[in-house]
Structure 1
Amino acid sequence: MKKLTPVFTVSVLFTAIFILWGLVPETILPKGNLDSVTAAVQGFILEKFGWFYLLSASIFLIFTIMLAFSKYGSIRLGKDTDRPEYSYLSWFAMLFSAGMGIGLVFWGVAEPMYHYYSPPFLEGQTPEAARAAMRYSFFHWGLHPWAIYAVIGIALAYFQFRKGAPGVISSTLRPILGNKVDGPLGVLIDFIAVFATVFGVATSLGLGAIQISGGLSGLFDGIENNFTTQIIIIVIVTILFMLSAQTGLNKGIKYLSNLNIILAISLLLFLLFVGPSNFIMDLFTTTIGSYLQNLPSMSFRLSPFDQELTWFQDWTIFYWAWWIAWAPFVGTFIARISRGRTIREFVIGVLAVPTLFGALWFSVFGGTGIFLEFFEAKPIMETIEQQGMEVALFTVFENFPFSTVLSSLAIFLISTFFITSADSATFVLGMQTTNGSLNPPGKVKFVWGIIQSASAAILLWTGGLEALQRASIIAALPFTIIMLLIVLSLTKSFKEEVIHYEKNS
C-alpha cells in the first residue's frame, strides 16, 4: 500500500476508538457509554440548532436552483472539451442507487403510514392526515436532500476536474481559506467528512440487514428475524460488495446500479397496475401540486408556540441532518461520475429526476398502504407496530397476487441496493483518504469495507445502531458549516472565472 495520508490514519484510528466505545456496556459506564452520550448530544443539537439545519437546507436548494438558471449554468464540470463518461440512464441509476435506493425501499410504506397516524397539527387517520402524510414524504425525500448532495457534487467536480485540485472536501475551500487547507485544518475538514460517511453508511447497512432479515423470516418459516440471521446477511453481502469493489467503477457499481433501476421500476409498475391504479395516480398528481404549492412554507416551518410538539425535530430536522451527514459520501460519488456535464445539466438531473421518481415511489407504495387502511380497513400500521417497520413493505405485498414473488424480488432489490451503497461507500472513502485518487487502491477500499461491515455488525449486536446513526448526525453540525463555506467558495470562484472569460473573449 502506498504511503498513507494523515486523513486515512486519523480516520481509521478514531473510527476504531468509536466502535470500541460502542462495545462498552452501560453497567461499566452508566452515563458515559456511547448510547447515552450520543442521545444527549443529538437531543441538544436538534433542540438548539433545528432552525440552523432548516435554514441551511433551504439555502442549499435556493443556491443550486439559482446556479442552474444563472450565467454560471453553462460552466462545464471539467475542461471545455470534456464530455460525459456515462449515459443518462447509467448516470441516474448510479447516483440514485448511492443516494437513496435502500432508504426508499425501507421507508416507502412505513413513513407515509407513520405520518397518516401522527401528522403535525392534524388529527390522524383522516383524509387531511393522508394528504399531509404524502406531502411530507415528498418533502423529506425530494428537492432539499438532492440539493444538499448537489452542492458537494458541484464543488468537488468543479475544483477537481476543471481546476485540477485534489478530489477532497478541503480542496473546495481553497478560494476562501488559501493554503490553510494543506495543513491540520484541511485534515480536520476531511476527517469530519469521512467520519460522517463511515457511520452514516454503516447505519444504512445495519438497517438493510434488518429489512432483509424481516423479509426472509416472512417468506420462510425456518428463518427468524434475529441477530444471527442479520449477521449472516452482513457477512454474505460484505463478501459480495468487496468482490464488486475490486472490479472498479465501470463494472460492479455501474452494472448493479442499472439492475437496481430495472428491478425497482418493475416492482413499482406491477403494484401500480395491480393495485389501486386510479387512486395512486390521483394521489401522485394532487400531492405534487400540494408539495410545490406548500414548499416555501414547509421549508421554514417549526412550532415555536407549541413547545411540546417534537414532530419537526423527530422528522424534518432529523432528516436534514441525516442528508447533510450523507452529503460527503453521495456528493463525492456523483461528482466522480459527472465529469463533463454542465452545471445546469447536473443540477436539473440531480434535482428533478430523483425527486419525481421518489414522489412516484411514495405514491405507489405509501399510497397503497394508506388505501388499504382507509378504504379496506387492513391493519397495515398495526402489523408494523407489532413486527417492526422493516416488514411494512412485505405487509402491503401480502394483499396482492404473487405476494411471495413480490417479496422475493424486494429482498433481492434491497440486497443489490445494499451492495451498491456499500461498494460506492468504499470507493468514496478510498478517494477521501487518498487525497482524491480517482481510482483508490484496492487495499484501501478493502480496509474501509471491513470497517463499515464490522461497525454495522458490532452495533447491531450491542443494540447500538441508533447510537451509530446519532454519531453521524452529530457530525452533520460542523459539516453544515463547511457546506455553507463551500457555497461562498463556489460563488467566489465562479465570479472570478466569468470575469476572466469576459476579459479574454
Structure 2
Amino acid sequence: MKQVSLVYWIGMAIATVFVIWGVIAPNNLIGVMESAQNVLLRVFGWFYQFSATFFMLLALFLVFSKYGRIKLGDDEDRPEYSRPTWIAMLFSAGMGIGLLFYGVSEPVSHFVNPPYGPGGTPEAAKLALRYTHLNWGLHAWAIYAIIGLSLAYYKFRKKVPGLISATLYPLLGKKTQGPIGIAVDLVAVFATVFGVAASLGLGAAQINSGLSYLTGIPTAFWIQLIIIAVTTVLFILSAATGLKRGIKYLSNANMMLAVILFCLFFVLGPVGFILDLFTTAVGEYIQYLPSMSLRMAPFNAENAEWLRNWTIFFMAWWIAWSPFVGTFIARVSKGRTVREFMVAVLLVPTTVCVIWFSVFGGTGIYFDLYQGTEIAAQSLETALFYTFQQLPLSGTMSVISLFLITTFFITSADSATFVLGMQTTNGSLNPPNFVKISWGLFLAATAIILMGTGGLSGLQTAIIVSAFPLTIVLLFMSYAVLKAFRQEVRKERN
C-alpha cells in the first residue's frame, strides 16, 4: 500500500464520480463534454494543430542537433535489446486497432468527402491518401517520440521515477513532488484513460461488425457491451496473474497475422494501382507537408469542419495516447542515443502506417473509383469487411481481422493498466494487482459510457477535451528536456 500514491486515490475518486455521472445522467454528461469540445475546437483548434507541428519540428531538430549524442542512460550503458528486436518493438507499437478500423474507412471517406475540392475524382484519391498520411505519419510519432525521449532520459540517465511530473524538474524543481506534480500526473492519467477507452470502443464496434458479417448477429450496443465485458475479463486476468508469457506469444502471433493479412490484401488487390498510388501519395505527402501541417481553412466553414473532425481529432488523440505509448517506447530504449532514438521512432512506425494505409485505403478507393462499389457509403466500422467481399478469401481475411482486433484490444488494455498503475504508484515497475484491476475496470466503464451516450462522437469528444491540458504539459516538457540537454552539454565543455 505504501507505493500507492496520492495520484491513485484522487484519480479513483474522480473516476468514480465520472462513472456515476455517466450512469445517472448520461445525456447531461455528454452535453457538458460536447459544450467543452465545441469551445475548444472553435477557439483552440489551431492550438492542437500548431502544437503537433511544433513537436514534429522539435523531433527533427533533435536528430541533427548537438544533443543527438546524449545517451538515454549512463555513458557505459549498452542497449538492452539488439537493434532488429528494438526496431520490431517500435513496429509493434505502431500497430493497433486504429489501423484496422481506419485502414480502409478513412481514405475512402476522404475520397468522397475530401478536405477541399470535389469528391470522387482521381485528384480526390491522391488528396485522400495525402491527408491520411498526415493524420497517421510524422506528426503522430513526433508526439510519441518527444514524450518517450523525456521519460527515457530522466528515468535512465537522471534516475528519477518514470512519471510525467518528473520530466518537469528543470522547470519546477521540488514542486514536482507537491500539488503541481500531482495535478500534472492526473492530467496524464485521464488523457491516457480517454485515449485508450476510445480505442476499446472502436474495437468493440468493429468486432461487432465483423461478427455480423460472418454470422448475421445484429449490430447493436448491447452486443458491443458483451464484447467489452468479455475482453475486459480477459485483459484483467492477464494483468492480475502476470501471464506475460501468454501475452508475449499472443503478441508475436498477432504480428505474424498482421503481416499475413497485409500480404493477402496486397496480393489479391489491384497491385499495380496500389503501387502507383503509393508512390504518388508519398511524394505529395512530403511535398505538401509544410502547408498541410498548418492549414486551418479560416475562410471556409465546411472545410474547417472537416479539419476539426479528422486532422485536429487525430492530433488530439495522439496527444492523449502519448503517455501510454511514450512509456512503452521509453522502457525498451535504454542505452540508445537521442539521435538513434528519434530517427527510429519517427521513421519506422511512420513507414509502417504509410504503407498500410496505401494498401488498404488504395484498394478501397480503386473499387469505388473503377468498379462502382460503395465502400465509402459503409460505416467506418464495416468498411473493412465490405472491402473483403470484393476480394477472394474474404472469409479468411475477416476471421484473421477479428482475431487481430480482439488481441489488439486485449494487449493494448493490458498494457494500459500497467502504465496507469505505474503512473499512480510513483513510477513502480510492479504496480499492485488491485491498482491495475481498478484501472482496468474504469477503462471498460469509460468505454461503455462513451459508446452508450455518444458512440464515435462521444469518444472523439472525450479525447479532444482530455488532450487540451496534456498538450500544455507536453509543451513545458519539451522546454524542460531542452534545458536539461543544454545544461548537460555545458557541463561536458567545462
Question: In the TM superposition, what whole-angstrom CA distance separates every residue of 1:286-315 from its partner, at most 9, and x where no partner exists?
Answer: 111110111111111111222443111221
Aligned equivalent of 1:301, options 289, 295, 300 = 295
Q: Residue type matched to 1:273 in 2?
A: V
Counterparts in 2 of 1:419 and 1:136: CA distance versus 1, 3 Å: same
Question: In the TM superposition, what whole-angstrom CA distance separates every residue of 1:205-243 from its partner, at most 9, and x where no partner exists?
Answer: 11101100110111013x222233222222221222223
3-state SS, counterpart of residue 382 of structure 2: helix
| TM-score (normalised: structure 2) | 0.95
Range moving further from structure 2, 230-239 or 142-151: 230-239
Q: Residue type matched to 2:391 in 1?
A: F
Aligned equivalent of 1:496, options 465, 473, 487 = 487
Q: Counterparts of 2:462 and 2:228 in 1: how far apart (Å)? A: 21
Name the structure 2 match of 1:422. Answer: 413
Name the structure 1 match of 2:218. Answer: 224
Q: Confirm or deny: 8 A CA contact 1:380 1:395 kept in the other structure.
A: yes
3-state SS, counterpart of residue 80 of structure 1: coil
Identity rate, percent:
55
Shift, 1:37, TM fit: 1.0
Q: Does 1:396 align with 2:387?
A: yes
CA RMSD of aligned residues (A): 1.8
Name the structure 1 match of 2:239. Answer: 245
Name the structure 1 match of 2:118. Answer: 123
Name the structure 2 match of 1:436. Answer: 427
Q: Counterparts of 1:403 and 1:490 in 2: how far apart (Å)? A: 49
Aligned equivalent of 1:446, options 430, 437, 451 = 437
Q: Residue type matched to 1:346 in 2?
A: F
Q: Counterparts of 2:406 and 2:73 in 1: how far apart (Å)? A: 34
Aligned equivalent of 1:282, options 276, 301, 312 = 276
Name the structure 2 match of 1:75. Answer: 70
Q: Counterparts of 1:113 and 1:147 in 2: how far apart (Å)? A: 26
3-state SS, counterpart of residue 390 of structure 1: coil
Aligned equivalent of 1:43, options 26, 35, 38 = 38
Shift, 1:92, TM fit: 4.4
Counterparts in 2 of 1:25 and 1:224: CA distance versus 1, 3 Å: same
Question: In the TM superposition, what whole-angstrom CA distance separates every residue of 1:347-373 from its partner, at most 9, and x where no partner exists?
Answer: 111110111111111111110000001
Q: Counterparts of 2:317 and 2:257 in 1: how far apart (Å)? A: 26
Q: Counterparts of 1:302 and 1:72 in 2: how far apart (Å)? A: 33
- 1:360-375 matched pairs, under 5 angstroms: 360-375=355-370
Counterparts in 2 of 1:468 and 1:304: CA distance versus 1, 3 Å: closer
Q: Residue type matched to 1:141 in 2?
A: W
Question: In the TM superposition, what whole-angstrom CA distance separates every residue of 1:406-432 from its partner, at most 9, and x where no partner exists?
Answer: 100000011111111101101110110
Name the structure 2 match of 1:342. Answer: 337
Name the structure 2 match of 1:257. Answer: 251
Range moving further from structure 2, 350-359 or 228-237: 228-237
3-state SS, counterpart of residue 341 of structure 1: coil
Shift, 1:264, TM fit: 1.2
Q: Does 1:353 align with 2:343?
A: no
Counterparts in 2 of 1:279 and 1:258: CA distance versus 1, 3 Å: same
Q: Counterparts of 1:85 and 1:445 in 2: how far apart (Å)? A: 26
Q: Confirm or deny: 8 A CA contact 2:104 2:360 kept in the other structure.
A: yes
Q: Does 1:165 align with 2:148?
A: no
Counterparts in 2 of 1:439 and 1:86: CA distance versus 1, 3 Å: farther
Aligned equivalent of 2:464, options 473, 479, 482 = 473
How many residues are matched? 493
Q: Confirm or deny: 8 A CA contact 2:125 2:365 kept in the other structure.
A: yes
Question: In the TM superposition, what whole-angstrom CA distance separates every residue of 1:29-60 from its partner, at most 9, and x where no partner exists?
Answer: x7xx1111111111111111112111111110
Shift, 1:179, TM fit: 1.2
Q: Does 1:55 align with 2:46?
A: no
Aligned equivalent of 1:270, options 259, 264, 269 = 264
Structure 2 spans left out of the alignment, 5+ residues = none
3-state SS, counterpart of residue 210 of structure 1: helix
- 1:14-53 matched pairs, under 5 angstroms: 14-25=14-25, 33-53=28-48
Q: Counterparts of 1:108 and 1:327 in 2: how far apart (Å)? A: 21
Shift, 1:260, TM fit: 2.4
